[in-house]
Structure formats: C-alpha cells, structure tokens
Structure 1
Amino acid sequence: MTRTVNIDDLRRRARRRLPRVVFDFLDGGAEDEVTLRRNRQAYEDIRLTPRILKGGTVDLSIDLFGQKFASPFMIGPTGLNGIYWPKGDLHLAGAAEDAGIGFAVSTASNSSMEEIAQRSGGPLWFQLYPWGKEAFSRALIDRASEAGYSALIITVDSLVGGKRERDLRHGFAHEITMSAPIVLDGLMHPGWLKSVWLSNNRPRLQNLVAFLGERASDKELADFTRSQRNPHFSWEDVRRIRKQWNGPLLIKGIMCAEDALRARQEGADGVIVSNHGGRQLDGAPATIDVIGDIAGQLDKDAKILLDGGIRRGSDTVKALALGAHGVLLGRAPLYGLAAHGREGVAQALSILEDELRRTMIFVGCQSVRDLGAQHIAAMKTGVAGPG
C-alpha cells in the first residue's frame, strides 16, 4: 500500500472505501461546483514570502475565548459523520482531544451532543441549525448549555438547501434511498457495508430523536430536517439567541464585511467566514478571497475564523496572515475518518500540523499569532488583503 503523505492521499483512500453515493455526499458541492473548486484554487493564487535564518522554534498555539488550542485549527461542524465510519463523531472528538484542538458538534451529528460531551475531554462547541420554530432552537441551546459546550455557532447560510446535483442524482437527502445501482455499489464496498450499513451502528440524527421519539425511522428523521428549514430566520432571531446563550457566540456563513459588522452589532463575539464548503450558493467567492476585507473592518476584539478548501498547512498560514485567528477543518479530517476511522483523523491532523510547522519556519515566523501581511509576497487580482 502506498504511504499516506498528504490529505489528497486520504481522499483517494476514502473514495476507494466508500460507495459512490456516500463519497459524493462528502466530496461534492452545489450546481456546477464553481465555488467548491475556487475554495482550493484561491490558495494557489497567494504567494508567501520566504525568510531565512529566523530561528527554528515555532509556537502553533492560539487562545480562543479563554481556551488554549495546541494548533490554530479545530474540526468544524459536519453532519452525518456516522455514514463514513461507525460512531464517526466520537472518533472526530477523540482525535481532536488527542491533538489538543477543539471539535464543533453539528445539530446533524449521529451521536448525541450529550454522548459526545460525556466521552470527550477536549474543547467542544455546538453548531446550531436554526430550523423550525423558536422552541426547536431553544431546546437544543438549553441541551448544549447543560452538556457543557463552551461556545455556540449559528449557521446562517443554509436556511434553504443548496442544489447539490451529485446527491440529487443518487436520491440522497439525509438518508440513502435504495435502488438497484446503489445496492450493487454497496456490495462492491463490503468493508463499509458491513461496518456501517449492516451493523448496529447505523447512523441516525440523534440530536433530533427527542423531537420525534425513539421509534422514529431514518426517513422520518430525514423528512423532519427538510421540513424544518427556516428561510425567515433573521437578525431578530440572532438577538433572541444572544439573550439565551451566555457563552461566546459565533455566526457562521459570513462572506462580506457588512454582514460581519452587523453580526457584531447584534452581540456576536466572532464570525466564521464560510461558504459552506461550496455546498450552498454556487458562484460565491472563496472564503480566502474575502477574509482580508472582513478582518480589516472588524474591531480588534472580534474573533474571525475561516473554513473552506484547507488541504495544506500553508493554507492555514495564508488564512492567518490575511486576518483569521484560526481555521475550521471540514473535509480534510473527514477524508481521514472515511479512510481509517479515528486513526485516519489523527493522520489528517498530524499531516496538517507538520506542514504548518514547516511553513512557519520557511516564512521565518516563530508564532502563528504574529503572522501578518508581511508574510504574503503576492496575490492575484481579486484576492483582498487586510484593510
């Protein structure tokens, strides 16, 4: 077996292990996948400044809301992780704890937020999809608070679903619709079929079971998520949640300075610059394209995180140099999870940390907290630098 040396190697291993319907859900984006591709290509448009003889000891640690992270990334919120590996959320949380970084648990996780909190000793944030009526979000926020989650993320860019055409072709919508081609594909991936689909660990949307009851079927839970989309969610709702939640609050899905400023006005402690991994609005810019303008207009106390397209340690350096305080990892650890379970997640995190440390030495910066515009050599037109 070829040695795994980068995130793309883990992606190829995940592709071999997963049926096409599952891999496409992990790997795909909206419509023509222009934004999905741009999230990666935009990093290639940024050049770093090499600096020599600046010392070799590097401090990767950061502080977010009084919590220490060993590296400037955390595993971001993603749903249905049990479809890649049994108890996938627990493996992600465990690998994050081992690496000294945080894990953001999704509303659509397959292990309940309570179980994850009970079995993890690392920093945990809860990500809220503001679905349904006020009672829905209020109940989930109360549960997150009682379980000890230290920060709350409100995802605001998925109030309607993106047109993910790979999923539509498979008939996938939070559940696998069985058809002859999908059954045949499953049989051709026996390792996945046995461990995930034919086991007692078949994934369910556990955070939602409380709303429908333990006897709810997979289809009923999936139908519930679709029926609860709330395109009328507004800044007024953000103010309501701000009053309910006592800890740090972040708004995820920010893509322009105007919305970032409004989030701060409504009481958010930070923003997450995100286009949902290219899975919602196709044609939106890459997150790295807009981070500089957002960082240049927010006050110094606002925390700015970024996700989207991070596959190399150097990508994190570029994001931090342009104004981010940290990054959220989406697909990168999931490729590891889908390939090798917890071991694969640990591999992904180790690869990115090693690349990050090397890049820091190459650019002559001894602390990620000191990265800035001086470490950027050039950017192609369209990539905004810090204001």
Structure 2
Amino acid sequence: MAKTYTYAEVQQHRSTDSCWVVLYGQVYDVTSFLPSHPGGGKIILQLAGSDATEEYDPIHPPGTLQDSLPVSANLGPFDMTTLPAKEATPLAPTSTTRSPAQTQPEEEPLTSFSDCLNLDDLETLATRRISRKAWAYYYSAGDDLHSKHLNNTVYSRILLRPRIFVDCTRCDTSTTFLGHRVNLPFFVSPAAMARLGNPAGEHGIAQACGKYGALQIISNNASQTPEQIVEGSAPGQIFGWQLYVQNERSKSEAMLQRIHALPQIKFICLTLDAPVPGKREHDERNKNVGASLPVTSSVAQASATSHPQRLEESIESPSFASGGVGNALFAGTAADLTWSSTLPWLAAHTHLPIVLKGLQAHEDAYIASQYAPQVKGIILSNHGGRELDTAPPAIHTLLEIRKFCPEVFGRVEVYVDGGIKRGTDVVKALCLGARGVGLGRAPLFALGAGGVEGVERMLGILRAEVETTMRLLGVERVEELGGRHVNAKAVERDVYEGEGVGRGKEGWWVGSKL
C-alpha cells in the first residue's frame, strides 16, 4: 500500500535538488523535469511543496501530466486534511471586478448571460465571474494598451452608407472561407487558455460554433488537446489549427502529424506577429495569483530549455521572472522564422493550406501573395494589441493593401482580426475587402460569462447585428458588400503614406516590389 504524505513532508522538498508538488490529491516528484519545463524551472519552484492543482487544472489539457512525467514520479496520495486552510481554496473562480470602466451600474446589475445585449455586456458579466488570473490574461495587452483601444475605436470613424427603397426581407450571412461554406462571416480566432474561464474550454466554444456553423481556429496553446476540441463536432463543421513553430522543430512536426489525423481541421494558421512575448502588465501583475504553470502549458508541449545546463539561465531570465501566463506560453517559440526557410519547411511537413496570421504592413501582404497557392490566406492582426503597442489596427493594414497593392485580394483571401465589438464592425471590414473577421477575446469572455450557452449568446448577438446592418444597407448577401457602402475617409487620413513621400511614391513602390 502506497505511503500517504502530509503537508509538512511535502514542504521539505522545495529546491532544485528535490522538488515535489501536489496535483489532484497525489504527490509528484518533479525534480528531474525542472531542466526541461517549457516555462523554466523557476515557475515550478514557485509552487514547490504546495497543492498546485488550482493553478494546474484550468491551464493544462487532460493527459498532459501522464505525458510529461514517468509513472515513478507519482510518489503516492496526499493527506488533504493536513493542508493549511489558506491553501484549501476551491477551483471555482472568484467574482471580484477588476475593471471600473466595465462595471455595470449597481441599479441594473447583469445577473445572467441572457440579460446581455452586446459583447461588452458579456465581458462585464465574465469579469465578475472568472478568476483574477483569467481576467488578467484575457484583458491584458501590450504596454499602455494603445493598440488594443485603437482596435476597438477605429471602426467608429468609418461611416456606413445605407440605401433606401430596397427589399430587405431576405438576408444571407453565409460565405466561404478557403472554399468551405460557413454560415457566419466572422470566426473564432486562436486564443489560448479557455479553461481558465470555464471548464468547458475550447471544446465548449467548438460546440457553440457547431450550432451556428462558424469556423474556429484552435490555439496552439489551447487548454485541451485538438482531439478533445473537435470531438463530437457537427457535420460539416470546420476548424483551423494555429501553429507557433518551436525551436525544436521536431515537436512542431509531430504536432502537424497529429493534426493531419483530424479531418475537421482544414488549414494551418501560422502565427507570425509574436516571435517574442509583448509586455503585458495586467498579466504580469497577477503572477502571484496563479499565473505559474507547474508542468507544461501547450498542447504542442514545446520545450524552451531542453538542456540541463540551461536551467540556471532559464530561472534567471527576466521574461520568466516577470511571471504572467503569456510569458510562460511563449517558452520555446522560435524567433528565427523567414520567408525563405519556414514556408519550404512547412511544405515538407504538411499538405494543408497555409494561412499567415499577424501581417501589419502591405509589403508583407504583397510578399505573402507571391507564395500562393501554398499560402491561401492572410490574417491582418496586431495580436489583439498584445505585442507591439502602437502597432496599426488591422483596418489600417487593409486600407494600405487597397491603396498600394490591391492585386493581393485576387491572389489570397484577406481576413482581419482584433477589436470587433459590433456587427457594424464586421460589415465595415467586409465592405473594405476582408473575406472574414476574427474574434479573440469575445469568445473567451462569453465562455466565462455563461459556458457554452454564453458563447452561443455571443454568436447569436453578433449574427443578429450583422443581419440588421446588412438589411439597413440594402444588401441581401455578404458578397454584395463593397466600398460603396462605407465612407472610410476619416481613417484613410491616418494610413501609412509610404517611405517615398517627398521623392515620388512611384519610385518608392517600385523599390518595395524588388
């Protein structure tokens, strides 16, 4: 019969020489795993000698523990009665509101997701329901949040041009993404750690997307495995898979093989706007309330420190010392990707179409279009404002493409991502040439507000707003939307003019295409 360990016994093992943690009522010796932990050894040592279940459970896909540690690492059961009261915290999230700007007036409190009338309402309700750790990770953005806020506000400067005396009884929001029929012109962008907000996780988001016929791009750092997420998906439901290429390419190659076994996943979304983590202060300030990741934080199970001699360097690294879920998730992500090396490598390891995510300049959009047909689409995105603060909103990049290289639209499908709060936002992006529009934070907050039904509420609200906008514009089908339906002059004034201003735009543009 296995020995039962007490809290006092576990507390004696809190060093690099002997490191124990408690997970799901079992004591684990993770000493040998310290050198290869994706987030560095210090993250595990922060939880050494304690019950790490509350921090571990919502972040790691089921089965991660078994895949990461040998059977011998399980030392035996833990006596929960010896755990100090201050550590015996429930898995249920707290209800403290962190953002005064999003606090509903006390006289009209939101008590249910069914009371929510828009995406901001769902975020407000989720803010009250989810843990501080989850809110900080979802809400956070780079530096002073300028890009995040501009993502939201830029759409308000684009005006719609409704037409009258048009039969608006019919409205069809369906379209095609990469040749696949979808019922909605917006999709779920890859956003990590859904189980931080609700146990249903990414699979719950997938269930809601299945009901509405919407595309979901699965995050490389999802809190469930891709197999678990697509399980039980609706007939004809489609997914994309986000890829962060790892320093150890073999890990990415192994993940691609897993993805090939899932017919629901139709393309690979290669994310390029985050080779290193941005400075997300809301997330970093909450490093001591559960941002530590005890074992592995990615379904790709990438390793940032595969050699024991790097342990000390990893522990002292400023990015890991600053804490935060975001920093830990980026461990092992390759920063050496190039046009000339990465796309040929992908061609050798996947037959699936490639969508490049994170383009923020028309020059890169033009280059990407030259790699068609391997590259089928591009997503214009500044990573939700979470990376380089003051980077342009996707609408600026979309207008740049229209201005400097409109031929891109004929070679690849162009999508935008970031800041969408209303159906009018979606329609404005479609009018300016976007094939579809991505939503990142909204599904996460909706899941936190009401689980699967919360995400369904979010999709339903946005669909209804898109339909109303299309009807009032006098448009029956998505493909009829065009530049004549919007006035974007106020935004065009802020769009990049070109490096050659003062010496002739033609000379600059010719040079940029060489």
Task: Name the TM-score class by shorter chain.
Answer: 0.7 to 0.9
Unaligned runs of 5+ in 1: 179-201, 213-218
SS for the counterpart of 2:261 is: helix
Q: Corresponding residue for 2:76?
A: none
Relative contact order, higher structure (CA 8 A, sep 6+): 1
- Contact kept in structure 2, 1:125 and 1:152, CA below 8 Å: yes
Counterpart amino acid of 1:248? P
Change (3 A) 1:113 1:205: farther
Q: Does 1:74 align with 2:187?
A: yes
- Contact kept in structure 1, 2:277 and 2:326, CA below 8 Å: no
TM-score w.r.t. length of structure 1: 0.86
Deviation at 1:223, TM superposition (A): 8.6
Output aligned runs, 1:122-137, within 5 Å.
122-137=237-252
Distance 2:297 2:331 in 1: 14
SS for the counterpart of 2:367 is: helix
Counterpart amino acid of 2:258? R
Deviation at 1:315, TM superposition (A): 0.4
> C-alpha offsets along residues 114-161 of structure 1, whole Å, 9 cap, x if unaligned?
122223232111010112222122111111111221111000111100
> C-alpha offsets along residues 289-344 of structure 1, whole Å, 9 cap, x if unaligned?
22122252404141111110001000000000111001111111221101111011
Distance 1:242 1:372 in 2: 34
Deviation at 1:225, TM superposition (A): 4.2
Q: Corresponding residue for 2:118?
A: 6
Match of 1:372 among 482, 494, 500: 482
SS for the counterpart of 2:375 is: coil
Counting aligned pairs with the same residue, the percent is 31
What RMSD in Å do the two structures reach over aligned CA positions? 2.5
Deviation at 1:243, TM superposition (A): 3.5
> C-alpha offsets along residues 86-124 of structure 1, whole Å, 9 cap, x if unaligned?
031011000001001111111101110112222323211
Q: Does 1:228 align with 2:332?
A: yes
Q: Corresponding residue for 1:191?
A: none
Q: Corresponding residue for 2:299?
A: 207
Distance 2:486 2:441 in 1: 25
Distance 1:48 1:158 in 2: 33
Q: Does 1:359 align with 2:359?
A: no
Q: Corresponding residue for 2:203?
A: 90
Match of 2:393 among 270, 283, 286: 286
Distance 2:363 2:128 in 1: 43
Change (3 A) 1:346 1:166: same
Q: Corresponding residue for 2:156?
A: 44
Q: Corresponding residue for 2:279?
A: 163
Distance 1:165 1:210 in 2: 24
Match of 1:117 among 220, 230, 239: 230
Distance 1:46 1:346 in 2: 28
Unaligned runs of 5+ in 2: 1-108, 305-322, 498-514
Q: Corresponding residue for 2:59?
A: none
Q: Does 1:154 align with 2:246?
A: no
Of 87-96 and 223-232, more deviation after overlay is shown by 223-232
Larger radius of gyration: 2
Q: Does 1:61 align with 2:168?
A: no
Deviation at 1:204, TM superposition (A): 6.8
Counterpart amino acid of 2:199? P
Q: Corresponding residue for 2:415?
A: 305
SS for the counterpart of 1:96 is: helix
Deviation at 1:368, TM superposition (A): 1.1
Q: Does 1:339 align with 2:470?
A: no
SS for the counterpart of 1:272 is: strand
- Contact kept in structure 1, 2:239 and 2:267, CA below 8 Å: yes
- Contact kept in structure 2, 1:130 and 1:137, CA below 8 Å: yes
- Contact kept in structure 1, 2:248 and 2:302, CA below 8 Å: no
- Contact kept in structure 2, 1:162 and 1:279, CA below 8 Å: yes
SS for the counterpart of 1:32 is: coil
Deviation at 1:374, TM superposition (A): 0.1
Deviation at 1:206, TM superposition (A): 5.8
Distance 1:43 1:222 in 2: 27
Distance 1:203 1:352 in 2: 37
SS for the counterpart of 2:421 is: coil
Counterpart amino acid of 2:279? K
TM-score w.r.t. length of structure 2: 0.65
Deviation at 1:224, TM superposition (A): 7.2
